[in-house]
Amino acid sequence: MSPDARTMLENLKIYAPNVDPELFEKAFRYSEKAHQNQARASGEHYFIHCTAVAETLIEFKLDLPTVCAGLLHDVLEDTPTTKEELEREFGEEIARLVEGVTKLDSLNFTSRDEAQAENWRKMMLATAQDIRVVLIKLADRLHNMKTLNYLSREKQERKAYETITLYAPLAHRLGMFQLKSELEDLAFQYIHPKEFEELSVKVRAITASREHALTSFRTTLEEKLTPTNMEYRILGRAKTLWSIYQKMKRQEKTFEEIQDAMGVRIITPTIANCYALLGIVHSEFKPVAGSFTDYISVPKVNLYQSLHTTIMTRHGDLIEIQIRTEEMHRTAEYGIAAHWRYKVGSEKSGKDEHLEEKLNWLRQWIEWLQDLKSPREFIESLKTDLELHQVFIFTPAGEVKPLPAGATPLDFAFAVHTEIGMMCVGARVNNKMVKLDYELKSGDICQILTKKNSKPNKGWLEIVKTARARSKIRHFLREKGIVA
């Protein structure tokens, strides 16, 4: 076994001590031989890319079949190897994972948009069957972005744009914040190179001065927390360059006006501790009005949970604080990969309800997307549903429905229930009548007005933003022979 293979296997055995070393070594050697005469744009051996993808999957702590599929993920696309050969050598599970990641370059499409949409449609279908497909694809994209400097400027811009509009939001939707942040910053430097460089210089310059404020804050905080005997740990947290840039644009502020570029996370074992720690923080430091958000009581769609608040120190520095449990932190870092790992690593615990909930959401969402016939419509709907900025809308009974930014009362109606959406004739937002294309804002209380015999019309397709609403409306209109 080569030194590289041995190192990867040792890292794999740290969390999966009973893996079959022979299967791993076989996949390693098979991929290395299959790609032996191939080189990347950088000039380096192609197989280095395959090992980089597998190493990322090991960082995610995924199972042996996924790691093997990572090593083999390009053999169907870039070598003469067939699926039958792969299945004969490695079994149906690994062959299916590799096929799910493989692109559709052999098909003829009328445009790049159509080809891209079909690739994503195929990947999403494969993902509905096995979430590991998309985790391999994300690991593949991460290494491709790290080596983007060897491609032409046109290819750099195209891949960076695709990464920031589709891959990074998909990682976010799956709760994989660490990966999402890395993909965003990698894409940022190619989409807006001038702004990226300027911001990098400013962040490096200010980091040293902010470090003093953070150290002072941590010292004071620990003095207050030690007597409580609560178990906790404090981690530093720096905003990514892309998130700072987005905030500057969104709030129309200069970098110097963005004061929460750095912050801390407080990790503790229990939810009760989270709220107790929040109380201590707010009693010792002045909270910034309107900065508190409770994602523990109302988790994000991707199951992210944490308490967020921004405080002002005695020296006038603003520091953003996130408070969460160890389990919430694991989910925030690795998202669905953490839940998959949990399921694989603890057979005795039975089903992981978080994983099942996330997979059910994903399967249903993919089912709605499959109903869209136009490739452009498919991609646009996918981007909308992956929208990072969500709005939280309340029913009159106080139930919260998260929707993508730009969603309308019609989207809300279908989110509450399909039948309510179908019979919708109007909406009241905060006790005022609004049009069905009204753009909802976080905190709105939306009441849907229905009429028993009311039915959707073709114009609704121009109003709705979510794949769910679009799919339901299109299905009804197709049955009536109104749309294809």
454 pLDDT higher than 70: yes
Burial class (CB in 10 A: 0-12, 13-18, 19+), 92: exposed
Query: Sorting pLDDT into bands at 50, 70 and 90, what band is 323?
Result: very high
Per-residue pLDDT at 178: 84
Instruction: Spell out the domain ranges in the chain.
Output: 3-176, 193-334, 389-479
Candidate from 224-238, 275-289, 402-416 with smallest mean pLDDT: 224-238
Q: How many CA atoms lie within 13 A of 450 on its CB side?
A: 18
Q: Please state the length of the chain.
A: 484
Per-residue pLDDT at 349: 40
> What is the rounded distance in angstroms from the CA atom of residue 232 to the CA atom of residue 345?
25
E strand or H helix at 158: helix 153-162
Taking the CB of residue 449, how many other CB atoms lie within 10 A of it?
15
- The CATH code of the domain at 193-334 is 3.30.460.10
What does 265-334 look like in DSSP terms, one character per residue? EEEES-HHHHHHHHHHHHHHSEEPTT--EETTTS--TT----EEEEEE-TTS-EEEEEEEEHHHHHHHHH
Contact 473, 461 (CB under 8 A): yes
Q: Which residues are catalytic?
A: 77-78
Kindly state which CATH superfamily the domain 389-479 is placed in: Beta-grasp domain (3.10.20.30)
Per-residue pLDDT at 109: 46
Mean pLDDT of 429-439: 93
Per-residue pLDDT tens over the stretch 139-180: 999 999 999 988 899 989 988 988 887 788 888 877 788 898
> What is the rounded distance in angstroms from the CA atom of residue 281 to the CA atom of residue 313?
11
> What is the rounded distance in angstroms from the CA atom of residue 322 to the CA atom of residue 318?
13
Per-residue pLDDT at 379: 63
The beta-carbon contacts of 82-90 under 8 Å, at least 24 apart in sequence, are 89/26, 89/30, 90/23, 90/26, 90/27, 90/30
Taking the CB of residue 113, how many other CB atoms lie within 10 A of it?
15
Average pLDDT of the chain, as a whole number:
83
347 pLDDT higher than 80: no
- Residue 262 DSSP SS3: strand
231 pLDDT higher than 50: yes
Burial 17-53 (b: 16+ CB within 10 A, else e): eebeeebbbebbebbbebbeeeebeeeebbbebbbbb
* Alpha-carbon torsion angle 456, 459, 465, 466, nearest 10: 30
Per-residue pLDDT at 9: 92
Contact 220, 213 (CB under 8 A): no
> What is the rounded distance in angstroms from the CA atom of residue 333 to the CA atom of residue 146?
20
Q: Which neighbouring-strand residues pair with 322?
A: 265, 308
Contact 319, 311 (CB under 8 A): yes
- The CATH code of the domain at 3-176 is 1.10.3210.10
Candidate from 71-85, 232-246, 432-446 with smallest mean pLDDT: 232-246
- pTM recorded for the entire structure: 0.70
